[in-house]
Amino acid sequence: MTDLRTRITASRAMGLLAALAALVALFSALSAVEFSTGAVHQPYFLTLDNAVEVGGSCAINLILGVGMTLVIIAGGIDLSVGRLMALALVVQVVVTNAAGSLAAGLAAGLAAGMAVGLANGLLAVRFGIPSFIVTLGTMMISRGGAMLVAGGKSIGCAVHAPLAVQRFMPIAVALAAAAVGQVLLAKTIFGRHVFAVGGSLEAARLCGIRTARVRVLTFLASGLCAGLAGFIYWCRNGLGDPLAGDGYELYAIAAVIVGGTSLSGGRGSVLGTLLGALIMGVLQNGLNIMLVQPHWQYIIIGSVLTATVLADRLKSSEPPL
Amino acid sequence: MKRIALTMIALALAALAGCSRDDSAGPAAGRPRIALIYKATTNPFFQAMEAGARAKAKELGVDLDVAGIESETDVDRQADLVRNMLSRRAQAVIIAPASSVGIVTPLLRAQQQGVPIINIDNRIDKDEAARLGLRVATFIGPDNFQGAKSVGDYACRLARERPDGGRGGVLILRGIDGVENAEARRAGFEAAVKEAGLALAGSQSANWHTEEAQTVTAALLAANPQASVILCANDKMALGAVAAVKARGRLGQVVIAGYDNIDLAREAMSRGEMHATCEQNPARMGALGVQCALAALRGETLPEVSPVPTQLITPDDVKTSK
């Protein structure tokens, strides 16, 4: 079973890499065309600057996606992460301003993320409420909570991230989160349990796996990731915006699904999510930089998401549901 | 499959390496490149601003890159757009910020690359900008004082031509006290009333709200039942004033003026319930944005604020345009 799982993931990863390379090639070509017609002074897509830009702009999506991957593989879903990120963010900024210490703020922000994540897990697992409903509720609670903590408006932060931190911290943290998530899933007993629980809850329970604990831990991890994402939002934008994160949970789910993780659980990888987030990030960056209207951007990104899943379905030998 | 993928990645990486950071910045050939980054792309106000900027850019031979976010408030995405436009080598940035505080950090990147920043519509928070060392070339906003003055002048003149000669006095409904545009409009109204030689019978804030304006007006009318003019700092409050005047059965006998030229106010004017409002001219704001960006690129020093003249709208304008 493990073999089959990794084989699927490996071929998937190759497909995603090819898609990513194709996108990079496409946007490079388009920017080169624009350059050759004299519309711009230099080709602008394939530059180190812009590569750093893409990395920075996918960072939040990737971090949320890492937590989401764990939750989804274990058979759940976490809709709260976008708004939870905003809650953790404003907690971080308020505490940083009050205590005059970024470390204290960061700790408080991460704690807020983990607290809500833990609550998600306990409510969904201990009381058997579908995680979709639980996290829909905590999404709204987090949104209101963020407004309450921030006093209903964006708050500036007493500590200011230097430019290098703004640019490189998001990438470093996102890659670290992905690495930890990948190792956790692929190399540890906990990871094996996550797959087992998502594959068949009953079978996992009969094998003696403490399924409740495993599932709660995935939600806790997702909450922690939301807290980390809040930190990255601060790095990039330098303020506590209680309205941040609108719809980010859906982007995270999209990255996870494009990355080949099965929404029905039991199958997937963080590596796939990394590639999924990169594809979405490159797409978004390329469309922005080519001045494509936001309306078209939604249509194009949505089409890519749907097409990926469709391609999967056509390749798969399983009968459609 | 695997080999194709690996080849493509290798090619992409090679290209990336070969195309290292281009530090020979500066415009290659003549045409300057300016970016306009705004918010609420579906709002007619900003669409008019974009159209004005595009027309001016065409006229002046500027390459204008326009990018916007659909929402009013998505700071993170707008910050991305700032960085994306810098990647496109914008030499000046015109920005209508989604957050007056949150846009400061992303704009510092532009400043560090020597890109002048023109602020338009929603003013960047002065304290945050000062704290982080952001310099804004100029702020382009509507001239609220002049706009309110012209609305007030017109309304007072209309009242003086009426049978009561405006002797019932003027009531003013203010916006949120302390807010920049509310204070400027109040000053404009007061100047107009003074110049017309009418009496200021009452002045109170209704915080921009229609319902609050209705109660406030009712109270003011109770104290001054013969009031001739009501000047409101926005159209929404003017609609509340209309309702209060209607309740007293004096509709048509009181000159009511608003500000913003919203559709509901135009309808009220076509019914004869309101008599004047003010158009803020977003298209001219966009055009002035491009002009200021060009001037900043030439190294000219711009005033801290570049006010945009507004336009008086009367029932005649409503009839001819629709």
B4–A18 CB contact, under 8 Å: yes
What end-to-end distance do the CA atoms of chain A give, in Å?
Answer: 21
Residues, chain A: 321
Query: ∠A300-A305-A309 over CA atoms, to 5°?
Result: 140
Tokens of B289: 């944005």
Topology alike, domains B30-136+282-308 and B144-279: yes
- CB distance A156–B128 less than 8 Å? yes
In a domain, A42, yes or no: no
Q: Alpha-carbon distance A289 to B65, whole Å? A: 9
- A128's CB contacts (< 8 A; 6+ apart) are none
Residue A318 lies in a domain: no
Angle between helices A163-187 and A189-199 (to 10 degrees): 70
A164 touches B: beta carbon within 8 Å: no
d(CA A221, CA A219): 5
Q: What CATH number is associated with residue A102?
A: 1.10.3470
DSSP line for B114-137 = T--EEEESSPPPHHHHHHHT---S
3-state secondary structure of A69: helix
**Rounded-to-integer distance, Cα A114 and Cα A204, Å:** 26
For residue A23, being part of any structural domain is answered with no
Per-residue pLDDT of A4-50, as tens digits, reads 555 556 777 888 898 899 999 999 998 888 877 776 767 788 888 89
Q: What was the ipTM of the complex prediction?
A: 0.84
Q: What is the pLDDT of residues B125-181, one digit of tens each?
A: 888 899 999 999 999 988 899 999 999 999 999 999 998 899 999 999 998 887 778
- Gap between the Cα atoms of A97 and A91, Å rounded: 10
Amino acid at B154: Y
- Facing B19 at nearest CB: one of A47, A160, A244: A47
User: Does the pLDDT value for residue B21 go beyond 60?
Assistant: no
**pLDDT tens profile A252-311:** 999 999 998 988 899 999 999 999 999 999 999 999 988 898 889 999 999 988 988 888
Task: Give the three-state DSSP class for B307.
Answer: strand
Spatial CA neighbour of A50 closest among B84, B246, B238, B245: B84
Token pair 């545009």: residue: B181
Q: Under an 8 A CB cutoff, do A21 and B131 touch?
A: no
Please provide the DSSP assignment of A3-24 as one string: HHHHHHHHHHHHHHHHHHHHHH
* Strand partners for B276: B257
- Both structure tokens of A9: 């993931």
How many angstroms separate the CA atoms of B303 and B140, rounded? Answer: 10
Predicted pLDDT at B24? 38
* Sequence ranges of the domains in chain B: 30-136+282-308, 144-279
| pLDDT above 80 (res A133) | yes
Gap between the Cα atoms of B284 and B307, Å rounded: 10
pTM (2 d.p.): 0.80
Q: Which CATH number fits domain B144-279: 3.90.1310.10, 3.10.520.10, 3.40.50.2300, 3.40.50.2000?
A: 3.40.50.2300
Name the class of domain B30-136+282-308. Answer: alpha beta
Provide the residue range defining the domain that includes A139.
Answer: 47-307
Q: Does B1 touch chain A (CB under 8 A)?
A: yes
Q: Dihedral, CA atoms, B136, B138, B143, B144, nearest 10 degrees?
A: 10
Give rounded-to-5 percent helix, strand, coil for chain A. Answer: 75, 0, 20
Q: Does any CB of chain A come closer than 8 Å to the CB of residue B30?
A: no
Q: What is the pLDDT of residues B194-211, one digit of tens each?
A: 999 999 999 999 988 899
Locate A11 and state its tokens. Answer: 């071929």
Cβ distance of B102 and A237 shorter than 8 Å: yes
Number of domains in chain A: 1
The residues with which A156 forms a beta bridge, in sequence order, are A239
Q: What is the pLDDT of residue B1?
A: 46
